[in-house]
């Protein structure tokens, strides 16, 4: 998308991110599984954002470090009162430009797909591998691509609607590059239009497994949800756990 970079999504959505997504998903189940896999070792979150997951994970006794490209998202995290600050490295998580090794590296809520190309995603897997302890795992939560969303490579739809406002989505799909450029358009009576852009490059679970293999990892487990539901052809998203091959 013209004018779009690694920081754009976060910089634009930071002010409303928690309101939109803070309680939309099962944070408790997410954090329970992450704490189980983290096994007391340090954890690294790629695209930590406002700390939606990192903060409750810290509350379970896991030391979390984050990487993010958006100062605005991290400012939202910092605005939440805490005794200890979570360390956050500003930068592109494809580089994983950080000291140390982690028992758990995780990237949730489709954030891996924020990396705009296959090359960047492969680079991310490779760099994550270098930062895993010997028994460390890399967890990826992402949607299963669904081509039925698109008609003539486009989709528009209503995300939310009430008597005063409507949230619309307008997306264009490029099936060759596996990218989707979207605007989330928020209309509220009497207020200016707000637009939140997001550009992703999606991958099927099998392609992620191949990226993992290129990086020297292998799939340990794949679930269809945070409660370890079976992953089936009906699953809308997956929670995948990779370990050293
Ligand atoms: C969908 S949000 C997820 C935030 C948090 N992980 C959560 O689950 O609520 C994606 C986050 O990744 C960050 N991000 C996107 N692309 C990035 C990149 N290439 N490098 C670092 N951070 C990136 C955004 O700034 C944003 O904070």
152-165 pLDDT, tens per residue? Answer: 999 999 999 999 99
Given the candidates 2.20.25.570, 3.40.50.620, 2.10.70.10, 3.50.50.60, the CATH classification of the domain at 147-199 is 2.20.25.570
pLDDT of residue 160: 93
Token readout for 4 is 């779009």
pLDDT for residue 88: 96
Q: Cβ–Cβ contacts within 10 Å for residue 120, how many? A: 17
Q: What is the pLDDT of residue 75?
A: 96
Distance CA 132, CA 50 (A): 24
Q: How confident is the model at residue 70 (pLDDT cuts 50, 70, 90)?
A: very high
> pLDDT grade, residue 42 (50/70/90)?
very high
Residue of minimum CA distance from atom 25 in ligand 1: 10
Examine domains 8-144+202-244 and 147-199 and report if their fold is the same.
Answer: no
Average pLDDT, the chain: 96
What per-residue confidence (pLDDT) applies to 39? 81
Burial class for 145, CB neighbours closer than 10 Å (0-12, 13-18, 19+): middle
Res. 44: pLDDT tops 80: yes
Residue 47: CB within 6 Å of ligand 1? Answer: yes
Q: What are the helix and strand counts (H, E) for the chain? A: 6, 11
pLDDT tens digits, one per residue of 168-178: 999 999 999 99
70 lines ligand 1 (CB under 6 A): yes
Where do the structural domains in the chain lie, given as residue ranges?
8-144+202-244, 147-199
Judge: domain 8-144+202-244, CATH 3.50.40.10.
no
The ligand 1 atom at the shortest distance from the C-alpha of residue 115 is 19
- Residue 129 CB less than 6 A away from ligand 1: no
Per-residue pLDDT reduced to its tens digit, 120-163? 999 999 999 999 999 999 999 999 999 999 999 999 999 999 99
Over residues 11-37, the mean pLDDT reads 94
Q: Is the pLDDT of residue 63 over 90?
A: yes
| Ligand 1 proximity of 123 Cβ (cutoff 6 Å) | no
- Give yes or no for residue 82 having a pLDDT over 90: no
* Average pLDDT, integer, range 44-50: 98
Q: Is the CB of 106 under 6 A from ligand 1?
A: no
Contacts of 144 (CB under 8 A, 6+ apart): 204, 205, 235, 236, 237, 238
112, pLDDT greater than 90: yes
Q: Using 50, 70 and 90 to split pLDDT, how confident is the model at 84?
A: confident
**Closest CA to ligand 1's atom 11:** 47
User: Closest Cα to atom 7, ligand 1: which residue?
Assistant: 52
Q: Could you tell me if the CB of 186 is within 6 A of ligand 1?
A: no
């Amino acid at each position: 998308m013209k004018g779009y970079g690694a920081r754009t999504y976060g910089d634009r959505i930071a002010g409303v991110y928690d309101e939109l997504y803070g309680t939309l998903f099962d944070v408790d189940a997410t954090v329970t599984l992450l704490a189980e896999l983290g096994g007391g070792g340090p954890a690294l979150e790629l695209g930590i954002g406002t700390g939606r997951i990192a903060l409750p994970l810290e509350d379970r006794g896991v030391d979390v470090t984050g990487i993010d490209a958006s100062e605005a998202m991290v400012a939202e995290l910092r605005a939440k009162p805490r005794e200890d600050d979570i360390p956050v490295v500003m930068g592109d998580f494809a580089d994983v430009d950080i000291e140390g090794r982690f028992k758990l590296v995780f990237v949730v809520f489709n954030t891996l797909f924020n990396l705009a190309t296959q090359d960047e995603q492969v680079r991310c897997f490779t760099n994550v591998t270098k930062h895993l302890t010997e028994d460390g795992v890399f967890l990826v939560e992402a949607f299963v691509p669904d081509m039925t969303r698109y008609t003539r490579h486009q989709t528009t739809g209503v995300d939310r609607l009430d008597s005063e406002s409507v949230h619309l989505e307008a997306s264009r799909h490029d099936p060759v590059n596996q990218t989707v450029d979207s605007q989330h358009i928020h209309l509220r009576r009497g207020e200016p239009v707000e637009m939140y852009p997001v550009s992703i490059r999606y991958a099927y679970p099998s392609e992620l497994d191949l990226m993992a293999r290129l990086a020297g990892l292998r799939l340990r487990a794949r679930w269809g949800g945070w409660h370890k539901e079976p992953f089936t052809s009906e699953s809308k998203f997956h929670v995948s756990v990779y370990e050293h091959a």
